[in-house]
Structure 1
Amino acid sequence: MRDFQLPGRSPVFAANGVCATSHPLAAKTAIDILERGGNAVDAAIAGAVLLGICEPQMTGIGGDCFILMSPPGSDEILALNGSGRAASAANAADLRDRGLVAVPVHGPDAVTIPGAVDAFCRLSDDHGKIGLDAILAPAIRYAEEGVPVAPRVAFDWPTSAKALQGHGLTHFLPDGTAPKVGDLFRAPAQAEVLRRIAKDGRKAFYEGEVAEDMVRCLQAAGGVHTLEDFAATACDYTTPISGSYAGAELVEHPPNGQGATAILLLNILSHFDIAAMDPFGSQRAHIEAEAAKLAYDARNRFITDPENCARLDYMLAPETAAKLAALINPGKAMQAAAPLTEAVHKDTIYITVVDRDRMAVSLIYSIFHGFGSGLASEKFGVLLQNRGSGFTLQQGHPNEMAGGKRPMHTIIPGMLRENGKVRMPFGVMGGQYQSNGHARLVSNIRDFGMSPQDGIDAPRCFSFDGVMKVERGYSDAVRQDLSDLGHRVEIPEGPIGGAQAIVIRDDGVLEGGSDPRKDGCALGY
């Protein structure tokens, strides 16, 4: 039990249903959907789409999603890949011929076809109960009436808005300055798009006037995207991957997401007695940082489009983890692996819902960088993601940009199973941090017996690209110890990531936790 004299929040307990996400209006909307007879799929989609209005710098209908779902009365976990592909004419050689060594983060070259809308429509058709018109109604209303800007959103907006250009400025910076806390943000043009999707499904987005608006925007900026690229978009059901750690099974989405990295990281950590260490001490932070360097180096080499990912079994093999663990020196930091040429960032939303029938949904949804590519369509204000900057331009690399290919994705939904039973849908936002964040949260719970809320609240550190970012929740003494071990230690300007989780307890009660690093909460009924 937490110390009630110290800042913090209690977990949320409920018997019928729980939603945990990064904005309270989205959490409330999800619970409203459940109370009206919708299921966890309906609620998760409704909340996720609304988050594109509440947190437009993080996500929107111009982005991608990945989903893990457990049907009611079942411990099977289904995976739906809602990530889009590069335009059919996209070609790494063309960018190399322009003298580029990486895909430009902002602009048309980085735009892959948005996959989230197709996935939401497919998931609603296959597993929802109340239909898209009811699911999308709250987001349509809020987009028209406006949403007061929340504190974390206001914190992010000025920096993220530097990416905006052209019609992106018109729709997301209409007064020329970032909104302040409490200012209303409206998106009436997006409301019209959602209204059309509610009526006509996916074709309202990928064909006709909305698609034409997006293609005009891209082609005017020099993009090679076509209407045929949009019409051909299709999500895929895939087979989840998993690994064991401290008596629990971590279930992840397969590539092109980076979930295999979290499994590999935990496999490496299993070779150390993490539970005997101080959870917030330098020893654990050092071992985790070294394991992350090795796991991420493997990710950078192997994770790509599912059709080109030939080394997945190698990443998940226990022998691979054993060999990598043997490279870790408990008394000295190793040199970081060469930095990625693929661009990475932190802007993502996550939502998880469990309903009264114990259907569980773990859904992550993103436009990648803050305000994505910075490009928005003129009439409908659809902000387009820059997931294509997750490709490499290195010739012959598995993740080399090519037409019709999916890039390596940082966003990953997660689930834990115990003794074969679905126990906890969860997610950790934070771009590159997400795999490390999954491993850290699982370790907090399994090694140290933390509740999900305590495990989410706990301080974080992350070593990437030669820098070890250590939140202020760690002591100065720990930071000094890590520096003495050879880490280049910095306190990050903002918090590292954000997380949500819901535990399905043995007695049937649901326990939700949500990260104070974001504006959101867990709610139940």
Structure 2
Amino acid sequence: MIATAHPAASAAAFGILQSGGNAFDAAICAAALLAVVEPQASGVGGDSFVLGHASASARTFGLNGSGKSAAAMTADALRALGHTGMPLRGALAVTCPGAVDTWARLHADHGSLDWGRLFHPAIRAAADGYVVADRVALDWNSFAPALATTPEAAARFLTGGRAFRAGEIHRQPELALTLREIAAKGRDGFYRGWVADDIVATLERGGSCLSHDDLERTASFYVDPLRIDYKGFEVLQLPANNQGATALLLLNILKHLPKTDHFSAERFHLLLEAARLAYRERDRSIGDPEHSAVDHRRFTSDAHAAALAAMIDGDRTTREFGEPATRKSDTTTISVVDGSGNAVTLINSLYHHFGSCVLAPKSGVLLQNRGSGFNLVPGHPNEFGPGKRPLHTIMPGMTLKDGKPSLVYGVMGGDYQAIGHAQLVTNVVDFGLDVQEAIDLPRTFHFKGFAEVERSMPAHIVEGLTRRGHSVQVAHLPIGGAQAIWIDPQRGTLAGGSDPRKDGLAIGM
């Protein structure tokens, strides 16, 4: 079974499974195609993280595919340019793209089919064109003004000065050449040669000092997942510089709060309050562990979670918790389980919609803006620095039961993802919802001082949150997205769910 945010990606990756490929092959195929057909969300110019389970070795592993900042740029240099915070767009917001190296390492260690074959659907879509899907078009139109700020991005992603609309055909011939180069040469087709030349030259024109050496040194690496027990399920997340630990702390806090109905104001109030505490811990302490120590025990300690839970008032919101530093962004996530028991969640992102909006014109590579995930607070663990990885929002998810995968999932939406993971897991574990019901349930998120709710949130829940002191605001767009697969060992079946907030679907056989 495979679940992605786009029907073309689900179909192409399912074809890989049908032709004898494994879950890792299918995930790479889907990621490459999504880099074309969801240009606002992901791309070869972005980063990637993986949680995988290899059935032959019974090993569950994490793979960190986040790139570093330029080795020659410092926080003081950015301040000297007049920046008091990290720029959101433009060349200075770009860090080294780690996605292609991540795909290559995953394939070398776990893939089974020929590498080049996995890129055929993506190459065809980029060269011949693809039909713009509905949610992609909605996001495209919402962020068209950002694309208009750079002529190269405007030339490729706007038509007649406007965004492409649902049902129109979009082509990326330059990106097709880059994908052919990657298919033929592996990671060297991206981090060396003419593609790398185009990326470096483009960034140099924008004032960045990211170099060929920075690109060549980009390397994904294996990490041991963090783990907690949540009511008999082992919940896995990736360690820092990933924000995954935030979801573990949030779940641990929820364990110590009263049981509620799954669709009640009390449930959403407690979720929001616990999330504010968990995000506060994140904002204070998570950065690149190569540059500052990160105490993951504060996030996995049951005793610490219990102390935080005791601070929560079930009847009123507590202003003293503060407001989390949250941003919305776009990404894409892929969940796959194959017939041999391999399982993988791969998440790929440009960060904000269309990333930095910097397009390398010869290669068609749209570059991420992950550098905006740093801050310029002197001495902070996540302060910008040379050769450093920022706090990363994209987080793959997996739960184990008796050492084997049970829920293979990902949630999209920038900072929302940590609370999104917690809501999805509790929907399944605490309330017994199937994966599609768990994904469909209306969402809430603290954003810019408001308790945002989706339009589908019933009036009685909105009223209950308001009565508890929350400033409730209806979100303009759907909150996040999710793709999930439930593995039922007793029945020997898989159940897939794909978020209706996106364009995708789950396919199984």
Is the 1:338–1:465 contact (alpha carbons within 8 Å) kept by the matching residues of 2? no
CA displacement 1:217-242 (0-9 Å, x = unmatched)? 11101111111111111111111101
Which residue, out of 483, 489, 494, partners 1:500? 483
TM-score of the superposed pair, with normalisation by structure 1:
0.94
Q: How many residues align?
A: 505
* More moved, 479-488 vs 38-47: 479-488
1:265 lines up with 2:246 in the alignment: no
- Quick one: which of 442, 460, 463 aligns to 2:425? 442
Q: Given the alignment, which residue of 335, 353, 371 partners 1:388?
A: 371
Instruction: Tell me the residue number matched to 1:311.
Output: 295
Q: Secondary structure at the match of 1:197?
A: helix
Give 1:176 deviation, angstroms: 1.8
Which residue type is aligned with residue 446 of structure 1? V
For residues 207 and 327 of structure 2, what CA distance do their matches in structure 1 show?
Answer: 23
- Residues 1:106 and 2:89 aligned together: yes
Q: Which residue of 2 aligns with 1:512?
A: 496
Q: Find 1:295's aligned residue among 278, 281, 301.
A: 278
Deviations 1:85-131 (A, max 9, x none): 00101211112223322101001111000000011111111111112
1:178 corresponds to 2:149: no
2:213 to 218, 228, 246: 228
Q: Which residue of 2 aligns with 1:7?
A: none
Alignment-derived partner of residue 3 in structure 1: none
* 2:187 alignment counterpart: 202
Residue 40 (structure 1) aligned to one of 13, 16, 23: 23
State yes or no: 1:320 paired with 2:304: yes
CA distance in 1, matches of 2:215, 2:323: 32
Contact persistence 2:174–2:361 (CA under 8 A): no
SS of alignment partner, residue 59 of structure 2: coil
Structure 2 residue identity aligned to 1:357: S
The code of the aligned residue for 2:198 comes to: D
Alignment partners' CA distance in 1, 2:172 and 2:322: 41
CA distance in 2, matches of 1:436, 1:32: 33
Which deviates further from its counterpart, 44-53 or 65-74? 65-74
Kindly indicate whether the alpha-carbon contact (under 8 Å) linking 2:92 and 2:206 is maintained by their aligned counterparts in 1: no
Q: Secondary structure at the match of 1:118?
A: helix
- Could you list the structure 1 runs, at least 4 aligned residues long, displaced by more than 4 angstroms after superposition: 336-341
Q: Which residue is equivalent to 1:66?
A: 49
Give the corresponding residue for 2:204.
219
**Cα shift readout 1:407-429 (whole Å, capped 9, x = no counterpart):** 00110000011122211110111
Shift of 1:312: 1.4
CA RMSD of aligned residues (A): 1.3
Are 1:252 and 2:273 counterparts? no
Deviations 1:294-352 (A, max 9, x none): 000000011111322422122221121111111111111122655567x7322000001
Alignment check: 8 A CA contact 2:279 2:324 kept = no
Q: Tell me which residue corresponds to 1:331.
A: 315
**What whole-Å deviation, never above 9, does each CA across 1:347-405 have from its counterpart, x for those lacking one?**
00000111110110100000000000010002111000000100010000011111111
SS class of match (2:52): strand
Give secondary structure in 2 for the equivalent of 1:126. helix
Secondary structure (helix, strand or coil) at the match of 2:363 reads coil
Letter in 1 for 2:481: G
1:136 to 2:119 alignment: yes
SS in 1 for 2:88: coil
2:62 counterpart of 1:79: yes
Cα separation, 2, equivalents of 1:310 and 1:23: 36
Unaligned runs of 5+ in 2: none
Of residues 311-320 and 202-211 in structure 1, the stretch that sits farther from structure 2 once superposed is 311-320
- Counterpart position of 2:410: 427
SS in 2 for 1:503: strand
Match of 2:222 among 220, 237, 242: 237
SS at match of 1:376: strand
Paired with 1:407 and 1:338, the residues of 2 have a C-alpha distance of: 23
What amino acid is the match of 1:152? R
Percent identity of equivalent pairs? 47
1:291 is matched by which residue type in structure 2? A
Partner of 1:52: 35
Contact 1:427 1:499 in 2 (8 A): yes
**Structure 2 residue matching 1:77: 3-state secondary structure:** strand
Cα distance between partner residues in 2 of 1:47 and 1:155? 21
Give 5+ residue unaligned stretches, structure 1: 1-17
> Equivalent residue for 1:463?
446
SS in structure 1 at match of 2:346:
strand
Q: What residue identity is the alignment partner of 1:20?
A: A
Q: Tell me how far apart the structure 1 counterparts of residues 478 and 196 of structure 2 sit (CA, whole Å).
A: 36
Distance in 2 between the 1:490 and 1:453 partners? Answer: 25
CA distance in 2, matches of 1:50, 1:272: 42
Greater Cα offset, 472-481 or 351-360: 472-481
1:429·1:498 contact (CA, 8 Å) conserved in 2? yes
Q: Is the 8 A contact 1:352 1:501 kept in 2?
A: yes
Q: Distance in 1 between matches of 2:243 and 2:335?
A: 19
Q: Which moved more, 1:471-480 or 1:363-372?
A: 471-480
Q: Tell me if the contact between 1:167 and 1:381 (Cα under 8 Å) persists in the aligned partners.
A: no
The letter of the residue matching 1:137 is H
TM-score relative to the length of structure 2: 0.97
- Distance in 1 separating the partners of 2:74 and 2:308: 34
- State the alpha-carbon separation in 1 of the partners of residues 324 and 446 from structure 2: 14
Name the CA distance, whole Å, in 2 between partners of 1:204 and 1:56. 20
Aligned-residue offset at 1:174: 4.2
Distance apart, 1:508 and its partner CA = 2.2
CA shift in 2, pair 1:474/1:340, >3 Å: closer
Match of 2:359 in 1: 376
Look up the SS of the partner of 1:383 in the other structure.
Answer: strand
Residue identity matched to 1:41: F
Aligned partners of 2:455 and 2:429: how far apart in 1? Answer: 24
